[in-house]
Structure 1
Amino acid sequence: MTELMKVSLTKEAPAAHWGKADVTFQNDLAAIHLQGGDELRQIQKAARKLRSQGITSLSLEGELWDLHSQWAFAQGFATAKSNSDIRWTGDEATQAELKNRLDSASFARQLINETPENLAPVKLAILAAHWLSEIGGEKVTYRIIEGAELLEEKWVGIHAVGRGSERPPAMLELDYNPLGDDAPVSVALVGKGITFDSGGYSIKASEGMLGMKCDMGGASTVTAALGLAMKQGLNKRVKLFLCCAENLISGHAYKLGDILTYKNGVSVEVVNTDAEGRLVLADGLQAASETGASLIIDAATLTGAALMAVGTNYNAIFSPKSEVLAMAQAKAAEVGERVWPLPLDPWHREMCPSAYADTANSRPMKGGGAGGASNAAGFLWHFVTPEANWLHMDLASAFADTSNSLWAAGGTTHGVLTIAALLQD
């Protein structure tokens, strides 16, 4: 028997004694039997089955493997506990792209799966900046604004959400400029970087809080996407804004009934301290708008409502412009990821009313009430310049609380390829 198990794809039905099995074995060869329909999903499920049997190293062999099928297998084969060893197949370009994807996804997955104690807000900003600097070299510059400096620059949302923690909140401003001089910014990325979310005084139940190390999934997703696009030769100027904080309870924490007045003059009543993601993204979206970028993309593990609407196999997308949604759907389909648009109309901006401020950060009811994901997007719309093409991604599929037929428990990195493709467009 060889050192590595070999895995091939076949469109032949398994031998009768295997019944309806989708994976069969013969000596050191495992065959995945494709049955029509969504073959990438079948491959990812088969990879999960192989990994659950304790297999950690294997070689993909045969003519049916292509870029997308190999990546689907890698996604199903990954776990939070240990790195996997997959020997790719195909030409040099395919294997190079798979390596770039795996490097970027592994970086994002490591961040998402890290313990909250080991990933303070400033540390998240530093790790993201250092990783991108290693890829981009002199093309990357950045600064980190932390603690009281946030108030000095009027980033009131990040400061308010993070002030309850002993570890200061921070905003990472990073500039990738391969063009030099004063080139225009083509795309601005914004990521929610809540390194732990207790819910604040609107405290979560224990079972809902357990997985909240994932609440910086948006920050890790946009960072990994930019890194991947840079590895692929991205030749446009992109700015990245990570909005990093811990949402904790203390004598310094922000409270229900507080009113925040943002840099653009919009005042916000806090009616739910567990709707903190949109408060930090409001700062990031204003910063992104100030760059003059024609495309602004924000990503966040923002609402349970999106999860209820699209499930765990899709990321929800929102935009006031149908052409932006169509572009995102097309790019996701090209790279084998799944997105689904949810409603965002002008009246969604008014769905979180306040008697004391221009708007509230939610509605004072469980889950923010009906249409909560769209209402959250409507809130964010207050902070985006009208001229920009804006895409909001609510990452319902960025984290698996428990293992399932497609994903191991932990960060999935689903969404990284879509954003990287949008950057390359």
Structure 2
Amino acid sequence: MTDFSVSLTTEQAPTTWGENARFSITDNGAHIHLPDEGDNLRVIQQAARRLDGLNIPGVTLTGEWTAAQQWAFAISYTRARNPGEIRWCENADKTDLAQKYRALLFTRKLVNDTPEDLSPENLANRAAEWLKEVGGDHVTVTQTVGEALKDAGWVGIYNVGRGSERPPVLLEVDYNPTGNSDAPVSAVLVGKGITFDSGGYSIKSSEGMLDMKCDMGGAATVTGSLGLAISQGLNKRVKLLLCCAENLISGHAYKLGDVLTYKNGQTVEIVNTDAEGRLVLADGLLAATATGAPLIIDAATLTGAATVALGHDYHAVFSMDDDAREAMLQSAKNEGEKFWPLPLEAWHQDRCPSAFADTANSRAQKGGGAGGASNAAGFLSRFVKADGKGWIHLDLAAAYHGSSTPEMPVGATAAGIRSIARLLHDYA
């Protein structure tokens, strides 16, 4: 690639670049001019976006950069289509940054790919292949596909996905570096893998449907997180469960008024076929709880309500376990990623009542009504241990940008993979 160097400086930009300029071009690259005070990382991100707009094949980061500064540049410079190459500074951070960046590229590409190319089976296969690549012989894979889901009792994934000609899938990946087949499972990651969400019979508008290729962002995020943790030397047994389906309309699709009976006996009335993510995650959480793992993290682009609350900058964190919630928030703080807690109490289970079942899957109003993100988390809490010990639910409001911003490119962000990977290492 062309040796286009990018360096940081605290000197003011030449006057020819304008007053308060934070970016200037040199003979062989560019300088990013940092302010004496303020958010230096944001300045770096904005400069990276401007460099990306020049369609440079690649850049070399030179001079003095911290790891956080290099990462801020990378997440903003890396556009969705034909991203430029990055050469890291030759310092102690290089290997760690390369591992994280590899996981970021995998996660973003998976989310950004077209829904035609990314069927439920394709999503499961690509996730499994990547984890085998990084985990080698320590990784084993099981898939339950199509009608076999019905036979096995995974009613959420089966019913959400049965409207599509491309069958739904429950993927289970077992990463076990201990060499002991009886080793306890330390953690389970559960991801929502809706490869396209039309809303079903509760159909979305054209505008609302445009970006629904990103509705498997939870599956991509937990897969990227596990792959990153493995590449960092994870020595614990961890399982990954991806709940993969297309939510489409057909003569075979599930309908409003249907009642699903889950393996734990919970009955659920369907009052909104566009509240499908929680239905597939319920199966994944039941399977995760059955392992006895002390830590369960589910991740999903689940509700518009979380985005209303937090915008596209933070992921929402829900837990009934104060210690688990604080551990997630601390991991995010240590990694410099933005997570924010939203309320979840035991009584949130009862916020979607039904006269025909134990619960409805939402409320029969737009967006699920007030408190929709907490109500969705309350629904999910029916499918873990009653006290919610060790369970963390992540509503990924910051997983995808439908349009570019001064700091971020359009498309998938891969935000959160570093924090989840860290928690897998650190959680006792």
Aligned to 1:114: 113
Partner Cα separation in structure 2 for residue 324 and residue 405 of structure 1: 34
Matches within 5 A, 1:111-260: 111-181=110-180, 182-260=182-260
Q: Secondary structure at the match of 1:382?
A: helix
1:342 Cα offset (Å): 0.5
CA-based RMSD: 1.3
Aligned to 1:52: 53
1:222 Cα offset (Å): 0.2
Partner Cα separation in structure 2 for residue 229 and residue 139 of structure 1: 13
Letter in 2 for 1:156: V
1:140 Cα offset (Å): 0.5
Q: Provide runs of 4+ in structure 1 moved above 4 Å.
A: none
**Contact 2:187–2:296 (Cα < 8 Å) also in 1:** yes
Q: Secondary structure at the match of 2:407?
A: coil
**Contact 1:7–1:58 (Cα < 8 Å) also in 2:** yes
Q: Secondary structure at the match of 1:296?
A: strand
Partner Cα separation in structure 1 for residue 355 and residue 280 of structure 2: 22
**Contact 2:55–2:84 (Cα < 8 Å) also in 1:** no
1:415 Cα offset (Å): 1.0
Listed one character per residue, the Cα deviations across residues 37-74 of structure 1 (whole Å, up to 9, x for unaligned) are 332222122111110122231110112x1222111111
**Contact 1:8–1:61 (Cα < 8 Å) also in 2:** yes
Aligned to 2:2: 3
Partner Cα separation in structure 1 for residue 62 and residue 44 of structure 2: 14
Matches within 5 A, 1:317-332: 317-332=317-332
1:81 Cα offset (Å): 0.9
Inter-CA distance 387–299: structure 2 relative to 1 (3 Å threshold): closer
TM-score by length of structure 1 reads 0.97
**Contact 2:2–2:57 (Cα < 8 Å) also in 1:** no
Q: Secondary structure at the match of 2:24?
A: strand
Q: Secondary structure at the match of 2:353?
A: coil
Q: Which deviates more from structure 2 when the two are superposed, residues 15-24 or residues 299-308?
A: 15-24
1:278 aligns with 2:282: no
1:81 aligns with 2:75: no
Listed one character per residue, the Cα deviations across residues 366-394 of structure 1 (whole Å, up to 9, x for unaligned) are 11000100110010000012363111111
Aligned to 1:424: 425
Aligned to 2:383: 383
1:116 Cα offset (Å): 0.6
Partner Cα separation in structure 2 for residue 365 and residue 387 of structure 1: 28
Partner Cα separation in structure 2 for residue 183 and residue 387 of structure 1: 23
Q: Identity of paired residues, percent?
A: 58
Partner Cα separation in structure 1 for residue 38 and residue 383 of structure 2: 42
Letter in 1 for 2:116: E
Letter in 2 for 1:7: V
Inter-CA distance 387–51: structure 2 relative to 1 (3 Å threshold): closer
TM-score by length of structure 2 reads 0.96
Listed one character per residue, the Cα deviations across residues 74-120 of structure 1 (whole Å, up to 9, x for unaligned) are 100111110321111032x4211111112111111111111111111
Letter in 1 for 2:254: Y
Aligned to 2:97: 98
Q: Which deviates more from structure 2 when the two are superposed, residues 99-108 or residues 25-34?
A: 25-34
Q: Secondary structure at the match of 2:116?
A: helix
1:336 Cα offset (Å): 1.6
**Contact 2:319–2:388 (Cα < 8 Å) also in 1:** no
Partner Cα separation in structure 1 for residue 414 and residue 133 of structure 2: 20
Partner Cα separation in structure 2 for residue 39 and residue 264 of structure 1: 50
Letter in 2 for 1:384: V
Listed one character per residue, the Cα deviations across residues 316-350 of structure 1 (whole Å, up to 9, x for unaligned) are 11111222222111111111210010111111111
Q: Secondary structure at the match of 1:116?
A: coil
**Contact 2:145–2:167 (Cα < 8 Å) also in 1:** yes
Aligned to 1:40: 41
Partner Cα separation in structure 1 for residue 68 and residue 346 of structure 2: 38
1:295 aligns with 2:277: no
Q: Secondary structure at the match of 1:199?
A: coil
Partner Cα separation in structure 2 for residue 11 and residue 264 of structure 1: 60
Letter in 1 for 2:49: R
Q: Mind listing any 5+ residue stretches in structure 1 that lack a counterpart? A: none
Letter in 2 for 1:6: S
Partner Cα separation in structure 2 for residue 333 and residue 38 of structure 1: 16
Partner Cα separation in structure 1 for residue 108 and residue 411 of structure 2: 8
Q: Secondary structure at the match of 2:245?
A: strand
Work out the number of aligned pairs and report it: 422
Listed one character per residue, the Cα deviations across residues 112-158 of structure 1 (whole Å, up to 9, x for unaligned) are 11111111101111111111011111100110001111111111000
Q: Secondary structure at the match of 2:271?
A: coil
Q: Secondary structure at the match of 1:317?
A: strand
1:16 Cα offset (Å): 4.0
Letter in 1 for 2:171: L
Partner Cα separation in structure 1 for residue 33 and residue 323 of structure 2: 38
